Chain A
């Protein structure tokens, strides 16, 4: 069974593959993932694409032992709130690090990885995860 809307996913490739969000020129706020409209400025908001630098800091994290479908074979894994050095906060997985390295304040950088596979025959989702530096 394919659970993914392929067209919906396809429209998000560039945001998933790179750190492409947007920026409201009116209130100078950065968004990732990108917003359709600026929630603060509404109709006065002027949004433009902005690619953020793939560097950030772990604000907080959680170790997942019971993952949702599609992630259940990856457990245990770490998920963190990451504050980008020049952008907003996002939620993502931390990879290639023993859990004692996943700490609040740890510096991280983005890597391109498989997010999940839509079954054996569906599409493979790729995107960014984060690695402790």
Chain B
């Protein structure tokens, strides 16, 4: 028996979790701003920044786009692939750190917009950039325990970086939605396993009434991102018995390109395996949408029966790590909605002034 067969048998016995993704959908706003356009305003070298962060440009929301509208757009794409009646959705969780309301759920706006009826539980979740993967875990738990038939998990953000701050080059907008179900005939990617690693680490935060986040500078690297992503991934491998080489693809949260590619290197994963999901270079860090947009982009190219490793990261801090195994059904649904690549290519550049206007960085004189 060769190695591939062993893994498959192993997964059938031990890792078939009976739950998976039945539809996935991405959304990325059309506008982009180039790193050098931002760099120019602050007298910085655009090439230096592009090379340092591995971000060439980032997605900027339209003036009429927010986490709710991005969530709806991504969900509509997920529904096109899942082809289910939205009224069969029993839970809607929207993970974001830029919910439009401090009090009032984004999830119910999504529910009404997609005509999900009223027989569902809902909540807006927040865990910096990993609230979307936490939503996937919540839905998987409810589906697996038969409380609901389908769950809708969304991660979306319209991230803000203060003008002149390093985050201004990366903080971007976008999101992804996943419909979780348990019917084998519908699953496009099984959730074979998930494991999380969390600790109270103040690497990045935003207080309730602050417009822009604060971060602990160099503290954001080693004790925060690196420790949590690495520990969650290691923990997942230990618990599943998988070896890092068993995976065909890997996706890590992408606060910038350097962190994610550095993590792949540390874990011994060749860049080719993270390349399909390495969306950060062309759209920036979409926060709660980051790792899961990477997952969507990977599902857009993966073949059936391939293994995908996903590890998210949320400051504060924690990581959710997953093993997904694609099924034959993936090929059937892939073209039912626009791919991540379709969205990345459909773009329009904005100037720094237009960007400042869209993001509300302008002060208007007179009465408001």
Q: Kindly state whether residue A65 has any CB partner on chain B within 8 Å.
A: no
Say which residue of A18, A74, A126 sits within 8 Å of B69 (CB atoms): A126
Are A114 and B64 neighbours in the complex by a CB distance under 8 Å? yes
Kindly state the separation between the CA atoms of A20 and B65 in the bound complex, as whole angstroms: 22
Are B65 and A14 neighbours in the complex by a CB distance under 8 Å? no
Given contacts A96-B30, A126-B69, contact A113 B64 (CB under 8 A): yes
Say which residue of B66, B364, B368 sits within 8 Å of A114 (CB atoms): B66
Are B69 and A98 neighbours in the complex by a CB distance under 8 Å? no
Given contacts A18-B113, A112-B113, A114-B69, contact A124 B64 (CB under 8 A): no
A89-133, CB < 8 A from B: 95-96, 98, 111-115, 119-120, 124, 126, 129
CB-nearest residue of chain A to B30: A96
Kindly state the separation between the CA atoms of A13 and B68 in the bound complex, as whole angstroms: 14
Kindly state the separation between the CA atoms of A14 and B68 in the bound complex, as whole angstroms: 15
Q: Kindly state whether residue B296 has any CB partner on chain A within 8 Å.
A: no
Are A17 and B113 neighbours in the complex by a CB distance under 8 Å? yes
Q: Kindly state whether residue A73 has any CB partner on chain B within 8 Å.
A: yes
Q: Kindly state whether residue B8 has any CB partner on chain A within 8 Å.
A: no
CB-nearest residue of chain B to A14: B112
Question: What string of 1s and 0s marks CB contacts (under 8 Å) between B349-368 and chain A?
Answer: 00000000100000010001
CB-nearest residue of chain B to A129: B64
Kindly state the separation between the CA atoms of A120 and B68 in the bound complex, as whole angstroms: 17
A24-60, CB < 8 A from B: none
Say which residue of B62, B112, B368 sits within 8 Å of A96 (CB atoms): B62
B86-127, CB < 8 A from A: 100-101, 109, 112-113, 115
**Interface size in chain B (residues, C-beta < 8 A):** 21
Set of chain B residues within 8 Å of A126, measured between Cβ atoms: 68-69, 109, 113
Kindly state the separation between the CA atoms of A97 and B173 in the bound complex, as whole angstroms: 18
Kindly state the separation between the CA atoms of A127 and B118 in the bound complex, as whole angstroms: 19
Are A73 and B69 neighbours in the complex by a CB distance under 8 Å? no
Are A112 and B73 neighbours in the complex by a CB distance under 8 Å? yes
CB-nearest residue of chain B to A114: B64
Are B72 and A112 neighbours in the complex by a CB distance under 8 Å? yes
Are B63 and A124 neighbours in the complex by a CB distance under 8 Å? no
Q: Kindly state whether residue B348 has any CB partner on chain A within 8 Å.
A: yes
Q: Shortest CB–CB separation between residue B31 and chain A, in angstroms?
A: 8
Kindly state the separation between the CA atoms of A66 and B312 in the bound complex, as whole angstroms: 44
Say which residue of B30, B69, B76 sits within 8 Å of A113 (CB atoms): B69
Set of chain B residues within 8 Å of A96, measured between Cβ atoms: 30, 62, 348
Set of chain B residues within 8 Å of A74, measured between Cβ atoms: 63-64
Set of chain A residues within 8 Å of B115, measured between Cβ atoms: 18
CB-nearest residue of chain B to A72: B364
Say which residue of B73, B101, B112 sits within 8 Å of A124 (CB atoms): B101
Set of chain B residues within 8 Å of A112, measured between Cβ atoms: 69, 72-73, 76, 113
Set of chain B residues within 8 Å of A18, measured between Cβ atoms: 113, 115
Kindly state the separation between the CA atoms of A119 and B367 in the bound complex, as whole angstroms: 12
Given contacts A17-B113, A112-B72, contact A98 B65 (CB under 8 A): no
Kindly state the separation between the CA atoms of A73 and B100 in the bound complex, as whole angstroms: 18
Set of chain B residues within 8 Å of A115, measured between Cβ atoms: 64
B38-91, CB < 8 A from A: 62-66, 68-69, 72-73, 76
Are A114 and B357 neighbours in the complex by a CB distance under 8 Å? no
Set of chain B residues within 8 Å of A129, measured between Cβ atoms: 64
Kindly state the separation between the CA atoms of A114 and B100 in the bound complex, as whole angstroms: 10
Set of chain B residues within 8 Å of A95, measured between Cβ atoms: 62, 64
Q: Shortest CB–CB separation between residue A100 and chain B, in angstroms?
A: 12
Set of chain A residues within 8 Å of B63, measured between Cβ atoms: 73-74
Given contacts A112-B113, A124-B100, A126-B109, contact A98 B348 (CB under 8 A): yes
Are B65 and A114 neighbours in the complex by a CB distance under 8 Å? yes
| Interface core residue of A18, A112, A113, A114 (most chain B CB under 10 Å) | A112
Kindly state the separation between the CA atoms of A98 and B354 in the bound complex, as whole angstroms: 14
Given contacts A96-B30, A98-B348, A124-B100, contact A113 B65 (CB under 8 A): yes
Selected A-B contacts with CB under 8 Å, 14 pairs: A13-B112, A18-B113, A73-B364, A96-B62, A96-B348, A111-B69, A112-B69, A112-B113, A114-B66, A115-B64, A124-B100, A126-B68, A126-B113, A129-B64
Having A73-B364, A114-B64, A119-B368, one finds 20 other A-B pairs with CB under 8 Å, namely A14-B112, A17-B109, A18-B113, A74-B64, A95-B62, A95-B64, A98-B348, A111-B69, A111-B73, A112-B69, A112-B73, A112-B113, A113-B62, A113-B64, A114-B69, A114-B100, A124-B66, A124-B100, A126-B69, A126-B113
Q: Which 7 A-B pairs have the closest CB atoms?
A: A112-B72, A113-B64, A114-B64, A17-B113, A96-B30, A17-B112, A113-B69
